[in-house]
Chains A and B, each alone.
Chain A
């Protein structure tokens, strides 16, 4: 495992990510949502007519669906008290220098331009509703890789949208997916041509700056046969006393023999509702991997899914959730085995402290005829104090007999004896707790590229500062 970077004790989320820049924009809708606002968003984007129709239909579905009550408590979301669209700039930048100082400074503080130089193949940076910067390394562009913001891609490559858009997650899937479909803006579009292996990660960074903002990015990823990509997303926001809403939709199509790894390090401020629908369609012998780190937000509901549609398809969902004071992380994963010889692995690790609550919610489904399926679910919860809570809601629907299915769950408290053991070797209580927590998530962290492993360990350490004693 990578060495844990040291964090200065006084560094807090507020200084590093929680700052707010003055709100400047070229266009902003009024608060709340109705037909005219949906049309206005569409008009601002000068998009094809079919998309406006799609949005309006989705808005009807959104209105007709009740707020979900089966998971975390969403009763405090007031859909009338949110700004649905804020356009920060008239034009996207192609260099960081192009951008206004406050925006450039935001990403520099977070470290995106530096990461771009060091180890990324391409970067997309979304600020409130729009992607304000985008880049792709020339060698990848030459190989035919497309990495754009979704609005631009819709105009340049409409054929992809006709074939794939909303095919994995239709608006009627759930209320928040319907909302996203009505007001979506920004997000990433990726296409990797057959056989092309993208060796370095492509990264998107989502930043909410304005107060009472809703961010509704829409991501569409198509990995053609035998191709390979690793996409990473990060997200942060200023700390406000009013709530913000992040409701993204991510659709992924992994073609025969292709591989896609999607890594999220979600670190929203604790006034953000994070309600995201993520789904991957996985074809014959293809491999989809979700690596999902949830550290921030007030409430997260997110269950990345794999639809294993072709023989031999494989899907892994590895997730880490960290729930501190006032947080509820209701996360997990879903695997649908729709073809023979498909395999899946769901590993979920959660940590609760200071009254935080983490829930694992998962589904494992094997349809009749999907013979030779191998599926394994493992969820481990670590509870750091008596105020905190952890729940597990695993669902299994197995309609085929010829399968190998495993399920293991554990809940543990940080043991007095573990702490004593480490402290007797000179570690302070805080360092000992951090070491136990880092050890607990190590099976997932070791899957990440070094830079992200360090980042995740550092963020966890940041959360741990002051956790005990």
Chain B
């Protein structure tokens, strides 16, 4: 279980999260929705251990291990994954090299033939052109291509818990379908997913077990998938404190 206990997070001495608690069991899909600036992305970055987001109090427990102060690589090794909202480019590091290094660090040695085969298949599933394998990671990629690349990593790295930070934003309908399919294929009874989104359109393809509404650094309401539809009708304004 991924447990977020009363998490307070600051960035540049500004309080962003003011006590967020969540429990995500393997196999569950949780969606966090909220207006711009509510702290959704900060939550995802703090969970993964970004140095700009300071946890001032509270804990993050992953399968009974306290990961609150661990560096991002140690969190990744324990099975946490973050699909970033704005993945950065690393010029000169090819997608293949990047994936292989990640896999080697997270899973130990990788059989080269199997790696090539799996990568090829998963790229085809997401309709990522083969030529991307030798391109520098995220370098000159469009918004949609970057998001697909994050989902490709998710499906290859097979984490225990995945945080998907607005993986649906900036995608056209076709790309959204592919990305949603990719996420669904990866998810299953074992993986716990925290899906952060501004809009509910991806929730038409991936039905969450729980929906939480984050406003001004706090979860103001939790419910099932019907809550997402409610928001669609009412907007976030009524949830303001």
Q: Which of A325-333, A336-344, A354-362, A415-423 lies at the binding interface?
A: A415-423
- Contact partner of A435 (CB less than 8 A), chosen from B71, B81, B87, B93, is B93
The reply to whether B92 and A441 contact each other, CB–CB distance below 8 Å, is yes
The reply to whether A429 and B84 contact each other, CB–CB distance below 8 Å, is no
> A440 on the interface (CB 8 Å rule)?
yes
Nearest chain B CB to A63 CB, angstrom units: 47
Interface mask (B88-113 → A, CB under 8 Å = 1, otherwise 0):
10111110011001100110000000
The reply to whether B52 and A416 contact each other, CB–CB distance below 8 Å, is yes
The reply to whether A423 and B71 contact each other, CB–CB distance below 8 Å, is yes
Residues of A within 8 A of B50 (CB): 416, 420
- Contact partner of A436 (CB less than 8 A), chosen from B49, B71, B75, B90, is B90
Nearest chain A CB to B160 CB, angstrom units: 13
Residues of B within 8 A of A424 (CB): 48-49, 72-73, 75-76, 81-82, 84
Nearest chain B CB to A22 CB, angstrom units: 44
* Also in contact, A443 and B51, with CB within 8 A (given A423-B73, A425-B105, A426-B102): no
- Contact partner of A429 (CB less than 8 A), chosen from B73, B75, B88, B101, is B73
The reply to whether B51 and A416 contact each other, CB–CB distance below 8 Å, is yes
Residues of B in contact (CB 8 Å), total 30
* Complex Cα gap A302–B52 (Å): 40
Residues of A within 8 A of B91 (CB): 439-440, 442
Interface mask (A379-417 → B, CB under 8 Å = 1, otherwise 0):
000000000000000000000000000000000000111
The reply to whether B76 and A423 contact each other, CB–CB distance below 8 Å, is yes
Residues of B within 8 A of A435 (CB): 90, 93, 97-98, 101
Residue of B nearest to A426 (CB): B105
The reply to whether B157 and A425 contact each other, CB–CB distance below 8 Å, is yes
- Contact partner of B92 (CB less than 8 A), chosen from A426, A429, A431, A438, is A438
* Complex Cα gap A199–B76 (Å): 47
Nearest chain B CB to A464 CB, angstrom units: 15
Nearest chain A CB to B111 CB, angstrom units: 15
> A427 on the interface (CB 8 Å rule)?
yes
- Interface size on A, as a range, is 20 to 34
The reply to whether B84 and A421 contact each other, CB–CB distance below 8 Å, is yes
Residues of B within 8 A of A439 (CB): 90-93, 136
The reply to whether B72 and A417 contact each other, CB–CB distance below 8 Å, is no
* Also in contact, A425 and B106, with CB within 8 A (given A420-B51, A440-B91): yes
* Also in contact, A436 and B93, with CB within 8 A (given A415-B88, A425-B98): yes
* Complex Cα gap A436–B97 (Å): 12
* Complex Cα gap A376–B22 (Å): 56
The reply to whether A431 and B97 contact each other, CB–CB distance below 8 Å, is no
* Complex Cα gap A162–B71 (Å): 65
> A74 on the interface (CB 8 Å rule)?
no
> A428 on the interface (CB 8 Å rule)?
yes
> A1 on the interface (CB 8 Å rule)?
yes
Interface mask (A427-456 → B, CB under 8 Å = 1, otherwise 0):
111011001101111110000000000000
Nearest chain B CB to A123 CB, angstrom units: 32
* Complex Cα gap A418–B82 (Å): 14
Residues of A within 8 A of B42 (CB): none
* Complex Cα gap A435–B105 (Å): 13
Nearest chain B CB to A143 CB, angstrom units: 37
Which residues of chain B have a CB within 8 Å of any CB of chain A? 48-52, 71-73, 75-77, 81-82, 84, 87-88, 90-94, 97-98, 101-102, 105-106, 136, 153, 157
Q: List 12 A-B contacts (CB under 8 A).
A: A423-B49, A424-B75, A424-B81, A425-B106, A426-B76, A426-B105, A428-B105, A431-B101, A435-B98, A436-B90, A441-B92, A442-B92
